[in-house]
Amino acid sequence: MSHNHSVDFKKAFTVEKLDGSQVKITGELPYAELESERNAALVALGKNVEIDGFRKGHVPTKVLEKHLGEMAILAEMAERAISHAYGHILEAHDIDAIGHPKIELTKVAPNNPLGFTATVAVMPEIELPDYKAIAKKINADKPSGDVTDEDVEKQINDILRQKAAYERLQKKAAMSDEEKAAEKEEDVIQSEEDLDKLEIPELTDEVAQSLGQPGQFEGVADLKTKLKEHLEIEKKNEATAKHRGNLTDAIVDETSVEIPQIMIESELQQMQAQMQEDLERSNLKLDDYLSHIKKTKEELMKEWEPAAEKRAKLQMTLNEIARVEKMSPDKDKVEEQTKILMQRFKDADEQRVRLYVASVLLNEDVMQMLEEVK
């Protein structure tokens, strides 16, 4: 819906840069801007007002005005007028704000302009290094995801040792106290070293068939083939994760940016939410966990702050690379993934979910682009 304003937002407000990637917006709104919000303010304030002789939410305006008082109405009008004007001020001054502003009223009175300040964090200036040159150098030393026959043999030996140890434990559980007392010291398994000393059975088709789920392996050849396939997936994922870590660390270390505190706090909140989710899955409570590690929540947050700052810097770096490269996530994929997540988390805010999905997909596109630099 279009609407008109009786104010030039560019001229009426000044913007002052503050430390910590913040700006302070100062100015006044004409009283006409507040007056245009009066009806909406009365409707909002009157929703829950109960006065004898009137139905809730249907109190006549004059009665409502007398009941609420002019200053309460004016405060609601001011809040609505500022909320309405705020986006126009950001647009007029080309401010890339992050998070919610801190509003302070400097002048509020009937039939007078509304004076206020808004302090808000802004997207800081970011100086990227030659990220393609860095990526080219890191890509030249990409860890190998290849699986050798020795890797497969080691995995098989580990499985056979675990099998031997399990069988030993079963045998011991069936022993009498006298038999346990007579057991040789070298037959007792107490450490990884003891496990390594265990004699492992010869690998035959019969032994191979006894491993894993019933019918999982047809014989030795099938066991080796399937184990190699599994190890290749595992090793490839590990190599990719390690390589991506090396790539982002090298680029982020050379990136110059002042991280707004609000972004660090946002990362801390996400880290805390993830920990809470992990604890709940294990049927643990946060307070019990904190008691166990002998730390307060504040101490834990302080410990996490460097990691949160690094995560925030990484996200800003990836966003800036995407901007420079004019990259954007595939809209169809964003909608598809958003629908899937909304089916799983029905109470979630759909717009927030969409932004999250878009961010994850864009990060992946940027990482793939960096990995392909030759």
**Would the pLDDT of 21 be above 80?**
yes
Calculate the average pLDDT of the chain: 88
Q: For the chain, how big is the Rg over CA atoms in Å?
A: 32
How confident is residue 182, by pLDDT bands cut at 50, 70 and 90?
low
pLDDT given for residue 36 in this prediction: 92
- DSSP string for residues in 277-345: HHHHHTT--HHHHHHHHT--HHHHHHHHHHHHHHHHHHHHHHHHHHHHTT----HHHHHHHHHHHHHH-
Q: Which residue has the higher pLDDT, 157 or 29?
A: 29
pLDDT given for residue 196 in this prediction: 64
231-371 classified as CATH 1.10.3120: yes
Q: What is the CATH number of domain 9-123?
A: 3.30.70.1050
pLDDT given for residue 1 in this prediction: 39
**Would the pLDDT of 189 be above 60?**
no
pLDDT digits (tens, 9 = 90+) for 215-248: 899 999 999 999 999 999 999 999 999 999 999 9
Q: Which residue has the higher pLDDT, 60 or 70?
A: 70
Residue boundaries of the structural domains of the chain: 9-123, 231-371
Q: Specify the pTM.
A: 0.66
Mean predicted confidence (pLDDT) in 270-297: 90
- For residue 365, the Cα-to-chain-centroid distance in whole angstroms is 17
How confident is residue 172, by pLDDT bands cut at 50, 70 and 90?
confident
Nearest Cα to Cα of residue 85 among 24, 18, 27, 44: 27
Q: In this structure, what is the dihedral angle of CA atoms 57, 62, 66, 71, given to the nearest 10 degrees? A: 90
The position carrying tokens 């919000």 is 37
The three-class DSSP label of residue 188 is: coil
pLDDT given for residue 350 in this prediction: 87
**Would the pLDDT of 4 be above 70?**
no
pLDDT given for residue 195 in this prediction: 60
The position carrying tokens 């302080």 is 302
Lowest-pLDDT range, 98-102, 179-183, 184-188? 184-188
- Residue 178 burial class via C-beta count within 10 angstroms: exposed 0-12, middle 13-18, buried 19 and up: exposed
Q: Which residue has the higher pLDDT, 189 or 301?
A: 301
Mean predicted confidence (pLDDT) in 279-296: 90
pLDDT given for residue 185 in this prediction: 54
Mean predicted confidence (pLDDT) in 54-71: 82
pLDDT given for residue 2 in this prediction: 44
How confident is residue 104, by pLDDT bands cut at 50, 70 and 90?
very high
Mean predicted confidence (pLDDT) in 19-29: 92
For residue 324, give every residue at least 6 positions away whose Cβ sits within 8 Å of its Cβ, in sequence order, or none. 128
pLDDT given for residue 222 in this prediction: 93
Strand partners, 2: none
